[in-house]
Amino acid sequence: MRPSLRLLNLEVSSLQGSRTLYVCSVCRQEARPRPLVARQFLRNASNATPITERVRRKIWGTDNPPGLKDPYGGEGVLERKFKKDQPARQGEESENLDQATEEAQAESEADLAAAEAYEPATSWEGLPRVGHLGRWSDLPPSETDGYESFMLKKKVTKKGQLSLAAHQAAVEISLMHTLNMPLTKVCDVVEHDKSVFKMLWKCKIQPGANGQWSQAVVYPSKEAEKALVYIFEQIGGHPEPALAEETAEGAEEAVEESKWEDLVSEVNDKNIPFFGYADVRDKGFLSLPLDDPATKFAFLKRFSQLSGHYLPDPVIHSLATVGQAVEYVHSALNPKPKKLADYLANSQGLNNLPNVKVFAKKQMPMDRDEELGRKKVIEAELRSRGLIE
Amino acid sequence: MTMKRLQLQRWSSSVLSPRARTGGRLQQHLYYNLRRQSTISPALQAENEPLFEEQSLDTPTHVPQSSHFKYLLPSPPVEAARESAKLAALHARLYLPSRLPLETLARSLVDASADSNPNFNNEALASLGHDLLSHYTSEHLVCTYPRLPLTVIFAATYAYVGPKTLSAMAKEWGVEMAAVPGGEVDPGLLQFKRVLPGTDVNAEPVTGTERPNEHRKSWRKSMSSRVVYDNEFGDPVRASGDSAAPESQNTQGVTAEHASATFVRAVMGAIYLHAGRPAAKRFFEQHFLSRHLNMSDLFNFSQPARDLSRLCARENFEPPVAKIISETGRKSRHPVFVVGIFSGQDKLGEGAGASLLEARSRAAVAALKGWYLYSPLNVRVPSAMEEEGAAPWKPVHVDLGEVIV
Amino acid sequence: MPVQGIRAVTNARNGVGAFILQCKRLDFHYCDWAGSSRGMVAFLKNTLPSFAKANPQIEIRVSPRPHKHPVIKGHYINGREKAVCVRNLEPEQIFQKANLLKEASGEKLKRTKKPITSINESVRGIWSPYHGDVKTV
């Protein structure tokens, strides 16, 4: 009986003036007059005297209680310190000014006089600019400000392009081996000219029995060999890209047009890595060994420069051939699926079993309807009543 | 007896060979052209190809696999059988031979009311399986109980392979039913068109049988005529040439019991076709004969004492005499009499009852059941001779049957 | 007609001829994100292939159920379902639960008081006071 009595007490029909038969409890609560506490808060919000002041008045019993106006703090520590510093600094300034001429005093006099004739500004026009004009960001860029990254700006993701990078690096390192030049010098030229790249691309690599890099390169023609040797002598000696390009243009005419050119889309856009070449022509470079630490370092440096991927140290240690390096980067690019459904869909063990069905999505009642053939009937009925399109 | 002569080879070829579709709308016709049944063996297909221009017309194009296309099919496409986990699980649950492909199992789950195309429904498989089942059952019953009355044989056959039992088996095999048949439905579900709720399935009696003077309702149907004209359960059947029945089924639908029974029969036929006779027989023994049936519960005597005296007269026994063996409380509220029926010195049967008459008729029933339920030892059925290197056949004893009163 | 046949239906004796496993379907639900599914995910990855191969007669469905605890649900031939929540369980424990569901008959658990239940008649027969030696008081 108690709850119903309580509810009767809270009847709002008198408040609303309407004779509603049933009012839900929430609405009833809403319609009740505000509790006293809330009203006090409302009144306090509009009152001028703060609560601390009113408490003090209550304690002392008078409207003007003795003591501090604000007994709960007053000036803060920082505030006090700031106030102390202010006169000290002013003192320093005045000392400096003592050594200056009396002009300053006269100036201050004038200031005082001006202060009397002070007129507040209404717009910014004519006001002196405050602040530093020549900041470093406003200065024109100097020579040292320019930054060119060691690696390519865009990371290579496709497997064919990774192979291209590895192939180019392998050919270049082999050339440097042949020329007895410092191996890492190849990194000085980040991106070759298109014609040079084409020659490098046409070079094949046939690793010898003892895994020598120096005899591995097979050139497409004599002219190409001469051109490449000349270019890389230049690179090895002192970088002179302009000269290299000239010779390359000469060599290009000598190189006959192969059928591979058809595959290459003639795009002059510089953003496309490897000038639109998709994949390497031969896979011989993949079995090149990385036994020699110097060769390994040079190759991986050039490879990471061309592909845009760093190789962590533990991985570098375990790499034995060029192919493994390419494989590692490729697998790092395509990690294992995170979703279990993807994993199960690819797993051999479950795919061969006819009695297992793996769903990628949550099974809803609608799926069961479709499986039982009920869905089309339901849809037809809904459609006939105009409830769905 | 009820064992009808089976020509399995002829029927199995009709199941396996592709048959030209008869009738149907043009749109359906086009879709059917694209559908392929995997059960058809390539050799047979090549053999039958010149006969049907429909088969030679369509070139093997790729079948569109969109979901929209699936909705247009009356039953799931053949390729879907490999995708269904339900179907594979059913295959393994029934220990079906691996030579029976999933596609055929899927086909045996499609009733004629769902897909009227005989190349894709289980009608042919079911008719083969039905004949196999009734063949094996009737030879088992006749050889095991050579003296059973014909009506009891009908009842026992019904109990072993009747539609009620078969639908119960389909349920016990875990076969689920599709709500509505269609191409998008899981092929592991039993597909059939349901009858509308409230329809009385037994409203009209079966007509169009081969029995002469069928319209004479009051004429007595003799037992001998039921052997000739009725089916193995003693029910009237339509003549085989009458095509009215399937048409009405296709439009009105069938009951779940009928569809389940058809499926079980189709499985039997499919096993026979794909795995051969021994596998079919083993399947029958494992799944049908292993079920429990109390044969003595199938008898319903109206006048057992009279039957027993006729039987004794037929078999040249001394006429049966009922004697009280013991009794208690004759004057009480619950008297018990134990009555034995004797033929000369031999006690044929014994029964206890609350009155002398009841006890006597119980004793007569016991005596009759003792006679009818005679079962020889080491029963061999005729189909045991079909195996290689079987022992020579020794004729089994088959009695005259029930007494004629 | 002297004797009529009474139509009846044979009773199944599962295991006498062929044995039909009563568990017809197992649903495995997991969540990709939640930690309570960690054991379930490991089970599905490593143990499920061998489990499914050992039980070809069970239809196995694996489907995600995001933001829920992992559950194994068994569907039985008698139409009942049994669900087991396997949150925070190790793969071995989940394997035991799956086996439990596989071996269940689907019936409600009940105490069996008699060691044997049979539909066959007793071989010895029911004792009768009217037969044998009559004992006189």
Q: What is the mean pLDDT of chain A?
A: 74
Element (H or E) spanning A175, and its range?
helix A159-179
Check CB contact under 8 Å for C6 and B149.
no
Task: Spell out the domains of chain C, with CATH numbers in brackets.
Answer: 25-78+87-103 (3.40.30.10)
Q: Beta partners for B328?
A: B336
Structure confidence at residue C21 as a pLDDT band (50, 70, 90): very high
Name every residue whose Cβ is closer than 8 Å to that of residue A260 and which is 6 or more positions away in sequence. A202, A281
**What is this model's ipTM?**
0.93
Structure confidence at residue A250 as a pLDDT band (50, 70, 90): very low
Q: Beta partners for C76?
A: C23
- B75-198+223-234+251-294 against B301-375: fold identical: no
- Chain B positions touching A371 (Cβ under 8 A) are 185-186, 189
pLDDT in tens, A57-86: 888 888 887 776 665 666 677 777 777 766
**pTM given for the model:** 0.65
3-state secondary structure A70-122: CCCCCCCHHHHHHHHHHHHHHHHHHHHHHHCCCHHHHHHHHHHHHHHCCCCCC
Domain-wise residue ranges, chain B: 75-198+223-234+251-294, 301-375
Pick the CATH number of B301-375 from 3.20.20.70, 3.30.565.10, 3.30.750.24, 3.30.160.20: 3.30.160.20
A46 at C interface, C-beta within 8 A: no
Q: Which residues in chain B come in under a pLDDT of 70?
A: 1-67, 241-251
As a CATH number, domain B75-198+223-234+251-294 is: 1.10.1520.10
Query: Of B191-200, B236-245, C19-28, C121-130, which range is least confident?
Result: B236-245
| Residue A357 scores a pLDDT above 80 | yes
Contact residues, A window 330-349, toward C, CB-based 8 Å cutoff: 338-341, 343-344, 347, 349
B299 at C interface, C-beta within 8 A: yes
| B332 residue type, one letter | S
| Residue A35 scores a pLDDT above 60 | no
Check CB contact under 8 Å for C5 and B298.
yes
The CA dihedral of B312, B315, B318, B321, to the nearest 10 degrees, is: -20
Contact residues, B window 158-187, toward C, CB-based 8 Å cutoff: 158-160, 162, 164-165, 168-169, 171-174
- Chain B positions touching C13 (Cβ under 8 A) are 290-292
| Three-class DSSP category at B350 | strand
- Alpha-carbon span B310 to B333, nearest angstrom: 35
Check CB contact under 8 Å for C58 and A347.
no
- Chain A positions touching C56 (Cβ under 8 A) are 353-355
A354 at C interface, C-beta within 8 A: yes
The pLDDT value given to residue A244: 43
- DSSP string across A295-325: HHHHHHHHHHHHH-----HHHHHH--BHHHH
Check CB contact under 8 Å for B299 and C3.
yes
Distance from CA of C56 to the nearest CA of A (A): 6
| Residue A263 scores a pLDDT above 60 | no
- Count CB neighbours of B256 within 10 A: 16
The pLDDT value given to residue C137: 67
| B18 residue type, one letter | P
pLDDT in tens, A7-28: 444 444 444 444 556 777 777 7
Give how far the C-alpha of residue B222 lies from the chain's centroid of Cα atoms, to the nearest Å: 23
Of the candidates B89, B179, B180, which has its C-beta nearest A355's C-beta?
B89
Closest residue of chain B to A358, computed from CA coordinates: B85
Distance from CA of B278 to the nearest CA of A (A): 27
The pLDDT value given to residue A224: 84
| Residue C97 scores a pLDDT above 70 | yes
- Alpha-carbon span B60 to B57, nearest angstrom: 10
Q: Which of A370, A381, A383 to mutate to test the interface with B (most CBs of B within 10 A)?
A: A370
Query: Of A44-58, B212-226, C36-50, which range is least confident?
Result: A44-58
Q: What is the mean pLDDT of residues A345-367?
A: 92
Neighbours of chain A (3+ CB pairs under 8 A): B, C
- Alpha-carbon span A219 to A200, nearest angstrom: 9
pLDDT in tens, A183-226: 888 888 777 888 888 888 888 888 776 767 777 788 888 888 88
Neighbours of chain C (3+ CB pairs under 8 A): A, B
Question: Which of B364, B396, B405, B403 lies closest to B141, judged by CA?
Answer: B396
Regarding predicted confidence, which is higher, A300 or A255? A300
- Chain B positions touching C129 (Cβ under 8 A) are 328
Decide if A198 contacts A252 (C-beta within 8 A): yes
- Alpha-carbon span B314 to B139, nearest angstrom: 26
Work out the end-to-end distance of chain A between its first and last CA atoms, rounded to an integer number of angstroms.
53
| B301 residue type, one letter | F
